[in-house]
Chains A and B, each alone.
Chain A
Amino acid sequence: MAYFLQQLINGVTLGSIYGLIAIGYTMVYGIIGMINFAHGDIFMVGAFIALIAFLALTAIGVTAIPLALLLVLIIAIGLTAVWGWTVERVAYRPLRESFRLAPLITAIGMSIVLQNFIQIAQGARVKPLQPVVTGGYELFQQGSFTVIVSNIQILIVVTTVLVMTGFWLLISRTALGRSQRACEQDRLMAALSGVDVDRTISLTFVLGAGLAAVAGLLYLLYYGVIDFFIGFVVGIKAFTAAVFGGIGSIPGAMLGGLIIGLIETFWSAYFSIEYKDVAAFSMLAIVLIFFPTGLLGRPEVEKV
């Protein structure tokens, strides 16, 4: 029981990070119907920006941890959003009216470009960060096993809940959110209703990149090491989460992220850690057999 609870805590933490990234995949798919394969690498860039920001802040003497965290969060979101915007502007917008596969291929190209750029600019070795948020609470003890919830885990879950709530309000309550949903349903009609579709799509990428930056910072704090390749595996997992929850559905992405995080953690805890990815992907296959549009996805309606 204690062991189960501990794994639940670990799984929710991991799932939060996947969920934040998955939203970026699902939003872009919803609005322009493409899989942004470079999104995982935007997450990786976000983690690197967070790392550099930490080191820079320490160098100039900002050592109060809450202040440093807040500054790093703002810097990472801001700069990563610029990366997200640029990727869309450079690689996707010129191909907006092209055939469907073209932006998919430039997305893969963009992913390789980002990985190689970081590899050359930052080196290929793993980059460590001293633990920033330490300590935790012992919940209870059962035999020799102690259930611990660490401060970093609390921080990750709380940040994720706050960011997702804010994001959800933005999508459901504001003019931007409405125009985004309108573009999802009928881009042409949205343009004719006065919505600037190009700007809305740009903002979608900016928002997705912002969420990925939050995930990047949390990943960096949780694991303490990053390298130029983390975007690939984590990105694929988050993409899986988006498909799992129903691609195009934002609550689906959150739910999918959580479930993928839990499956991975429980599989590693009870069976074998080597096969955790196999478990996650097999579960995806099984879900897609019974729910072809994912857990919360709507069936694709062909527009005529």
Chain B
Amino acid sequence: MSETGAKPWDHAPILLVEHLTMRFGGLTAVDDASFSVGGNDITALIGPNGAGKTTVFNCITGFYKPTEGMLTLNGSDGTPFYLERLTDHEINAHARVARTFQNIRLFPGMTVLENLMVAQHNVLSRASGFSFGAILGLGQFARAEHDALDFAKSWLDRIGLLSRADDAAGGLPYGDQRRLEIARAMCTRPRLLCLDEPAAGLNARESEALSALLKSIRDEDDTAIFLIEHDMGVVMRISDHVIVLDYGKKIADGTPDEVRSDPHVIAAYLGVSDEDAAALEGGP
């Protein structure tokens, strides 16, 4: 493990994971993992299948209560949120962490636009006096609704789906659904966006567009990105910081170049399949 002093992401971390351990009966899915996620970075979590990557995500977003360890998210005004103590809804609404899943989970029966409006529920329901004002058509609610609509439309424009705003989300092509999921997560105004394999199933052109989108989120939206990804091309191209897990343990943590040449990582990937190792080595 090549940890020489403090790295850039240690200075202003948005998420601090300390001694995270998750056991399911006799199985230790995550074993004493500690790392930090930088506030202005794209951080990638990689590792062979079954390394415990999704389990880490599930701990961060409140699906699992970690067996041991602490997950501290630094709020915008410096208040720490201890994620292991919050429910999934509070993690999104208060700590402002959003996530997507490996398989697409849009609200398929609602329109594309409505999917983005649901995600702004918190902003809206505060403004509307929890919807009862809405029936009376209060001005404040109308304004908030109008702002939310503008925000949703700006995101549709950004992902190129403005013309399909009123179509059912379930009817979109796969690649569009992926981007819509990211837009929906962004509509919750997150400070940390966790993406579980966003490039899975995308073709080369689509994953190029995805990379550009993720970079623009990092640079323009003041949102840190934490992603799990198997497409090493995407990982090496966009990440500022790569963390490698194998059998639940952290085996490497550094810049893409450091990680690429780390012997532990090469061994872990070679031990799984030649193909993954080749991809790791062959990344641009």
Q: Is B188 a contact partner of A193 (Cβ separation < 8 A)?
A: yes
Most B-side CB within 10 Å, residue of A170, A190, A298, A304: A190
Stretch at the interface among A34-42, A144-152, A181-189: A181-189
Chain A contributes a number of interface residues (CB within 8 A of B) equal to 27
Interface presence of A61 (CB below 8 A): no
Quick check: B109 and A193 within 8 Å, CB to CB?
Answer: no
Kindly state whether residue B135 has any CB partner on chain A within 8 Å. Answer: yes
A175 to B119, CA, bound (A): 10
Q: Which of B88, B99, B121, B184 contacts A178 (CB 8 A)?
A: B121
- Which one of B122, B130, B131 contacts A194 once the chains associate, using CB atoms below 8 Å? B122
A-contact 0/1 string along B171-200, CB 8 Å cutoff: 000000000000011011000000000000
**A192 in contact with B121 (CB, 8 Å):** no
- B124 close to A (CB within 8 Å): yes
Q: For chain A residues 249-304, which have a beta carbon within 8 Å of chain B? A: 298, 304
User: B125 in the interface, Cβ–Cβ < 8 Å?
Assistant: yes
Task: Say which one of B110-118, B220-228, B244-252, B275-283 lies at the interface with A.
Answer: B110-118
Stretch of B14-22, B100-108, B156-164 lying at the A interface: B100-108
A189 touches B92 (CB 8 A): no
Which positions 128-149 of chain B face chain A at CB distance < 8 Å?
128, 130-131, 134-135, 145
Partner of B107, one of A182, A191, A298, A304: A182
A66 within 8 A of B: no
Interface presence of B93 (CB below 8 A): yes
Report the minimum CB–CB distance from A121 to chain B (whole Å): 31
Q: Is the CB of B107 within 8 A of A176?
A: no
Q: Which residues of A contact B59 (CB under 8 A)?
A: none
Contact between A176 and B89, CB atoms less than 8 A apart: no
How many chain B residues have a CB neighbour from A under 8 Å?
35
Question: Does A125 touch B at the CB level, under 8 Å?
Answer: no
B134 touches A196 (CB 8 A): no
Given contacts A181-B110, A185-B110, A194-B93, contact A170 B118 (CB under 8 A): no
Q: Is A190's CB under 8 angstroms from B98's CB?
A: no
> How far does the alpha carbon of A265 sit from the alpha carbon of B100 in the complex, in Å?
52
B61 interface hit (Cβ, 8 Å): yes
- Do A176 and B130 contact each other (CB < 8 Å), given the known contacts A181-B110, A194-B89, A195-B89? yes
A178 contacts B135, C-beta separation under 8 Å: no
**Once the chains are docked, how many angstroms separate the CA of A178 from the CA of B128?**
14
Least distance between A118 CB and chain B CB atoms (Å) = 29
Closest to B132 in A: A176
Does any Cβ of B come within 8 Å of A166's Cβ?
yes
Most buried by A among B93, B98, B110, B118: B118
Q: B107: which A residues are within 8 A, CB to CB?
A: 181-182, 185-186, 189-190
- B222 to A: closest C-beta gap in Å: 18
Q: Which residues of B contact A197 (CB under 8 A)?
A: 89
| Contacting residues, chain A, for B117 (C-beta < 8 A) | 175, 178
In the complex, which residues of chain B have a beta carbon less than 8 angstroms from the beta carbon of A181? 107, 109-110, 114, 118
In the complex, chain A residues whose CB is within 8 Å of the CB of B188:
193-194
Q: Which residues of A contact B61 (CB under 8 A)?
A: 192
CB distance from B44 to the nearest CB of A (A): 21
B131 engages A191 (CB within 8 Å): no
A124 close to B (CB within 8 Å) = no
Nearest CB of chain A from residue B200's CB, rounded to whole Å = 16
- A198 vs B87: C-alpha distance when bound (angstroms): 11
**Contact across chains for A193 and B130 when beta carbons are under 8 A apart:** no
Known: A166-B135, A182-B110, A196-B89. A190 touches B128 (CB 8 A): no
Q: Known contacts A181-B107, A182-B107: does B121 contact A195 (CB below 8 Å)? A: yes
Report the separation of the CA atoms of residues A191 and B98 in the bound assembly, to the nearest whole angstrom.
10
Given A175-B128, A182-B110, A185-B107: A194 touches B134 (CB 8 Å cut-off): no
Q: Which residues of A have CB within 8 Å of B92?
A: 191-194
Given contacts A176-B125, A178-B114, A182-B107, contact A192 B88 (CB under 8 A): yes
A166 / chain B contacts, CB cutoff of 8 Å: 135
Q: Which residues from 214 to 262 on chain B have a C-beta closer than 8 Å to any C-beta of chain A? A: none
Interface centre among A170, A173, A182 (most CB of B within 10 A): A182
B88 near A174: Cβ-Cβ < 8 Å = no
Q: Least Cβ distance of A58 to chain B in Å?
A: 30
Residues of chain A contacted by B110 (CB below 8 angstroms): 178, 181-182, 185
Q: Which residues of A contact B89 (CB under 8 A)?
A: 191-192, 194-198
* A193, B184: Cβ atoms closer than 8 Å: yes
| Contact B135 A194, beta carbon cutoff 8 Å | no
- Across the interface, which residues of B come within 8 angstroms of A26, CB to CB? none
B102 to chain A, nearest CB (A): 12
Return chain B residues, CB-CB under 8 Å to A176.
125, 130-131, 134
- 25 A-B contacts, Cβ less than 8 Å apart? A166-B135, A169-B135, A170-B135, A174-B131, A174-B134, A175-B134, A176-B131, A176-B134, A178-B121, A179-B118, A181-B110, A182-B121, A185-B110, A188-B105, A190-B107, A192-B88, A193-B92, A193-B98, A193-B121, A193-B188, A194-B92, A195-B89, A195-B121, A196-B93, A198-B89
B residues adjacent to A (C-beta < 8 A): 61, 87-89, 92-93, 98-99, 101, 103, 105-110, 114, 117-122, 124-125, 128, 130-131, 134-135, 145, 184-185, 187-188
Query: Top 8 nearest A-B pairs by Cβ distance?
Result: A176-B131, A175-B124, A174-B134, A182-B118, A191-B89, A185-B107, A193-B119, A194-B92
